[in-house]
Chains A and B, each alone.
Chain A
Amino acid sequence: MSVGRSAATPFWLAGPGALLFLGLVVLPLVLTVILSFHVYDHTTGIKNEFTLAHYAAVFSDEYYLGIFWRTLRLAGLTTLICVLIGAPEAYILSRMRDPWRSVFLLVIIGPLLVSVVVRAFGWSMLLGSTGLVNQALQGLGFDSVRLLYTETAIVIALVHVMLPFMVIPVWTALQKLDPMVEAAAWSLGASHFTALRRVVLPQVSLGMLSGSLIVFGLSASAFAIPGLLGGRRLKMAATLVYDEYMHELNWPLGATIAIIVLVANLVIMLAYNRVIETRARKALG
């Protein structure tokens, strides 16, 4: 009796979560995959026939490939900038004394409490042709710069939104670090910089890895920011999918693009994870 129950218990316990996962993640995904193979006709809509034409169209069209390349480039750039800003920021944060640490942690996490759409509008006001940034530049005697509806604007806003996702994992990794390890490196003759590079950095590399995976994944599929700050012309993958669904009403093509973005994202992240994690795990356990 007790043996039978203990064998079934794990399934009962995992059941609700598994059902939720099946219903909300796997099922829609499968439906999207199926949808991407349907034939679409501009006059009659989606037909109950199957084709590979959408995939062929996407992969042979410079327009789509250009957007994929831009998505990859901007997500990569955002990740890089987040590492460069977020890792030192987390380090400084971990070195702060308590009242200040809590205050600055709140400053970093605070923006997450505001909707991305609101923040994107905020940036569009700041970066616009008569926005605060251009007014300041003109006040200082410089020419005004076109920022809004450029890739620069998208990257600036993405970095702003994604930074907490980098700071928090790195900060967590730093919390686990023995504070005396750095002092040990100094006592052995290492300069502050060498101690950081040889001793602290390798130990937070896993935190930086998970941070960059989150940032890259979210940036590559970001919708609101490229939509609002990139304008109509400067599209990224998610805005393209939206356009196919909502403007062209070509759902199968939209599904195709969504699946391609998902697969590309997965492949990039898994490969990245493989390369860095296996190296770091070997040393850190």
Chain B
Amino acid sequence: MSFLTLEKLSKVYGDFAAARDIDLNVAKGEFVSLLGPSGCGKTTTLQMIAGLIEPTTGTIMLDGSDITREKPNRRGLGIVFQSYALFPHMTVAQNVAFGLEMRKIAKAERDERVKAMLALVHLAAFAERYPRQLSGGQRQRVAIARALVIQPPVLLLDEPLSNLDAKLREEMQFELRRIQQRVGTTTIMVTHDQAEALSISDRVVVMEQGRMTQVDAPYKLYENPATPFISTFVGKMNRLEGIWRKGAAEVAGIALPAEAGGLAEGAAIAVSIRPEKLVLKTPGQGRIDGTIANRFFLGGSWLFTVETAAGAILVSAPNDGEEPAREGAKVALDWAPASLRIEPLAQGAAA
């Protein structure tokens, strides 16, 4: 049963479509991310749901009623802005209480709910501070508390973590998910950070140039990207072009064993494989030989760039505590044929 439904939602400025034909069903309690590069229409879509931008066409249904033309202050949605948009002249408690005040909730109950909400975001001790006296992560949590205290049917997050440094961002991802699961609010988050979208969402909507190109659970999105763009935008991907010959993918004259059906002999294909699906072996032991051109130590894993006859290939290997092969070392690459994805390249169409 869909709780929030977007139907054929479009926003057109002159002859530029910022968002086109957005169809999305969000179930109650679900955490959905809109993922895409800047200018893909994800923020426009969020602002249409929020009521800050009026859609050109299409409808927005919330819990069975049409809210497409409803004013933002009548929708009752909770919004966390990228800049947090806290009221700088009010204390943390006053910020959080603002929405309740607007709903004419009695002072006693208001104080009670503000207190409970600040406890939920671990800011109980900061109630009397002003926003400028808080760190970025704390401000972020005030913004979340302020949006959630009104018990909104839907929580909208606009790049909520983009202003935080890397370590804090990771912590806040867990924090955000914990709060969302605790409160059970249906949540839509806009982000350009694929790792963020994958780690905390139930479903991810990928947007490109104003259109939705894939809606899937994070692991499905990662394993089965619908477009070449998604395969490179979400995670790292090795993508080589070749032709299908004698039941194998042939790239630069080298036959790579793969599993694929229904391809005509000589058809142009694209071969793709994730770096972590490749295994480094001693020369001669694998399916293709190469030389290590670069290696990066990432802590939990190593990332190698291997020069092969088929081109440069990224390989990710887990860190097992031993120092792996150095730059210039001869290696061989091996993989399970099933993990090599083959797609036909439409003749003349953009790859």
Q: Which A residues fall within an 8 A CB radius of B?
A: 178, 180-181, 183-191, 194, 198-199, 202-203, 280, 283-285
Contact = CB atoms under 8 A, between A and B. Distances in A.
B52 interface: yes
Contacts, number: 72
A194 B102 CA distance: 9
A105 to B, nearest CB: 25
Nearest to A203: B89
Given A188-B150, A189-B99, A183 B88 contact: no
Given A183-B72, A285-B132, A189 B85 contact: no
Given A194-B102, A285-B132, A183 B85 contact: yes
B138 interface: no
Given A183-B52, A194-B102, A199-B87, A189 B150 contact: yes
Contacts of B147: 187-188
B99 A188 contact: yes
Interface in B77-113: 77-79, 81-83, 85-90, 98-99, 102-103
Nearest to B143: A184
A172 to B, nearest CB: 16
Contacts of B132: 285
- Of A183, A184, A186, A190, the most chain B CB neighbours within 10 A belong to A184
A183 B78 CA distance: 11
B347 interface: no
Given A180-B81, A203-B88, A189 B103 contact: yes
B81 A188 contact: no
Nearest to B75: A187
Nearest to B47: A183
Nearest to A180: B85
Given A185-B87, A188-B73, 15 more contacts: A180-B85, A181-B86, A183-B72, A184-B86, A184-B87, A186-B72, A186-B73, A187-B77, A187-B79, A188-B146, A190-B98, A190-B102, A199-B87, A283-B130, A284-B89
Interface in B220-252: none
Nearest to A189: B102
A203 B132 CA distance: 14
Contacts of A184: 79, 81, 85-87, 146
Contacts of B75: 187
Interface in B122-163: 130, 132, 146-147, 150
Contacts of A187: 50-51, 72-73, 75, 77-79, 147
Nearest to A183: B52
22 contacts: A178-B85, A180-B83, A181-B87, A183-B50, A183-B79, A184-B81, A184-B85, A184-B87, A185-B98, A186-B71, A186-B72, A186-B73, A187-B75, A187-B77, A187-B147, A188-B99, A188-B146, A188-B150, A189-B76, A190-B102, A202-B89, A283-B130
